[in-house]
Chain A
Amino acid sequence: MTTVPVPVLEARGASLRFGERVLWDDLDLTLRPGEFLTVLGSNGSGKSSLLKAVLGLQPLTSGTIALQGRPIAHGDRHVGYVPQQRLFSPGTPIRGRDLVALGVDGHRPGVRLAGRRATRDRVDAALAAVGGESFAKRPVGQLSGGEQQRVRIAQALVSDPALLLCDEPLISLDLHNQRQIVQLIDERRRLHGTPVVFVTHDVNPVLEMTDRVLYLAAGSYRIGLPDEILRSDVLTELYGTPVEVARVGGRVVVLGAPTPHNADHPHHVEVVA
């Protein structure tokens, strides 16, 4: 390799501990333009906390995380963020397009006076990109789960982010909508080289576009190509207990992975329908 692209995101020796509990320790990670990083791990393994740490909303116990060479203190307008899918309640007093507009300039003080037209054009373009023109004028709480999530994607992309963070954006979506959302995210990184950090409990919907997998478990982590990480021997070593990775009908299924909190919810024992 002759030229090494500038890392968009770089973590050096990043650790996060809550008291005695170690979520991840000494995490080194370099994300290059256009890369799709899928973050896997049991519930409570610190997947969402990793995104919060990148955003500077969760202080690290030690180490650094930097975006384009500088650390983030309290969120950043150069980062697109799709939060854990929580539906807006039906009475939420805002329309879909207003939510997208807040992605343009919601961080700026005052009332939107100047640049209304420019904002509207950007919002229209972002909504068109996710196919959301038809429903964007309705109150966001009245939209279906898939529609709400498309509004979320438009909101995250409207600011032309340098990095896209997605926290379980597919939860509670049916397969059809899952595929659409994943396609929108994939399109963004292919067309604009925006790297994606995609937190999910199920790798299958994004397996195709995943460049690397970061697997968090038992206070440790493994990072590498999907085929290097999603293997019985690698995950058994990581978890410290026998774990089996099976490929059933084109799907990757992780069997027997323990969760740190609750053994009654083995989220990684997936039943293939």
Chain B
Amino acid sequence: MNDIDWSTVVNFDDYGLLLQLVQYSLLAAAVLGIAGGIVGVFVMQRDMAFAVHGISELSFAGAAGALLLGTSVVTGSLVGSLVAAVAIGLLGHRAGDRNSIIGVLMPFGLGLGILFLALYPGRASSKFSLLTGQIISVDGPQLGSLVAICAIAIGVLLLIWRPLLFDSLDPDVAAARGVRGRLLSVVFMLALGLVVSVAVQIVGALLVLALLVTPAAAALRVSASPVVVPLLAAGFGVLAAVGGILLALGGSLPVSPYITSISFLTYFVCRAIGLARTRGQSRQRTTSAQSVVEPGEPTPVVEPGERQRA
């Protein structure tokens, strides 16, 4: 029963030829990897992983609707994505509100999408690909628009970079210094919506987090530098997206599991590195703390407990 023909699952014959066929897909994946890694850093800082998932389900609904209407899937997923992003950005300024709004929007979007797909008379494979992704099925002109959408998102993020970082990490002081948090939040959500709409078509609505959260989460495990983290995250994103396609070419399996696995692996490795490093540091700190106890300095009795009290 369980006879898998491994020669079709893994088969690197004609690899060079295949590579030529998918060169534009690789380009799109690379750009998405960069955009996803960068936007992911802010997603992590603003604690919005759940929002990404919510937006991707509405993006899926939009894409499925477009499929049913016979219009462009790129446009459909873009519209769904932006509507969700703006709704979450406007209605859910506070974290608690946000999560409940996302919780309401997400099943609605997914249900809507499934309805559209059920009504769609076309090929079943293109239905499935919106949920689990298949970049190879995206054609040339579409790929061009995907790259353009990602480029716009990266441009917007670069434009609002510093105030967005300030608002994400230190909103009270940012507001005091004249940063318009509300406005930034909406602009950021639009940029996020753009990236999500592309990711939905490449990895599928269900797996968007693998390119928009995991690379940034991995990078944050090994660094806290505002320069190193986005660069690493973008690198991890490219590694997962491009690496996933390159591996998938050599066989019959879809791209998504490769992308998610590479993405997960980078996170796993980064986590291990981060853990090893903090262990080393805390060992160093205890020894140095013991050696410099100045006589006459009042002992800071409160300090160890402070974090628990706050």
Contact = CB atoms under 8 A, between A and B. Distances in A.
Interface of A: 55, 57, 74-77, 79, 81, 83-87, 90-95, 98-99, 102-103, 105-112, 139, 144-146, 152, 155-156, 159, 165, 172-177
Given A86-B310, A93-B41, 17 more contacts: A75-B176, A76-B178, A81-B173, A81-B177, A87-B306, A94-B226, A98-B226, A99-B170, A102-B170, A102-B173, A106-B177, A107-B178, A110-B158, A112-B162, A152-B173, A176-B298, A176-B300
Contact of A75 (B41, B169, B178, B298): B178
A86 to B, nearest CB: 7
A102 B45 CA distance: 15
A96 to B, nearest CB: 10
Contact of A111 (B44, B161, B169, B179): B161
Interface in B277-310: 297-298, 300-303, 306-307, 309-310
B233 to A, nearest CB: 11
B169 A109 contact: no
Interface residues of B, number: 37
Contacts of B177: 75-77, 79, 81, 103, 106-107, 159
Contacts of A112: 162
- Shortest 4 CB-CB distances between A and B: which pairs? A106-B166, A174-B302, A81-B176, A145-B306
A107 B309 contact: no
A255 to B, nearest CB: 25
A53 to B, nearest CB: 12
A74 B160 CA distance: 17
Contacts of B175: 55, 57, 74-75
A159 B176 CA distance: 13
Given A110-B162, A165-B176, A174-B301, A94 B169 contact: yes
Given A74-B175, A172-B309, A102 B166 contact: yes
B160 to A, nearest CB: 6
Given A76-B178, A111-B161, A174 B169 contact: no
B87 interface: no
Nearest to A147: B303
Nearest to B297: A176
Contacts of B301: 174
Interface of B: 41, 44-45, 158-163, 165-166, 169-170, 172-180, 220, 224-226, 229, 297-298, 300-303, 306-307, 309-310
A241 to B, nearest CB: 31
Nearest to A111: B161
Contacts of A102: 162, 165-166, 169-170, 173-174
A145 B162 contact: no
28 contacts: A75-B176, A75-B177, A75-B179, A76-B177, A79-B177, A81-B176, A81-B177, A87-B307, A87-B310, A91-B220, A92-B169, A93-B41, A93-B44, A93-B224, A93-B229, A95-B225, A98-B224, A98-B225, A102-B162, A107-B162, A111-B161, A144-B306, A145-B310, A146-B303, A155-B173, A172-B310, A173-B306, A177-B300
A182 to B, nearest CB: 15
Contacts of B179: 75, 106-107
Contact of B303 (A75, A84, A174): A174
A107 B166 contact: yes
A175 B298 contact: yes
A73 to B, nearest CB: 9
Nearest to A167: B172
A77 B180 CA distance: 12
A156 B177 CA distance: 10
A86 B173 CA distance: 12
A93 B168 CA distance: 10
Given A74-B175, A99-B169, A174-B301, A145 B307 contact: yes
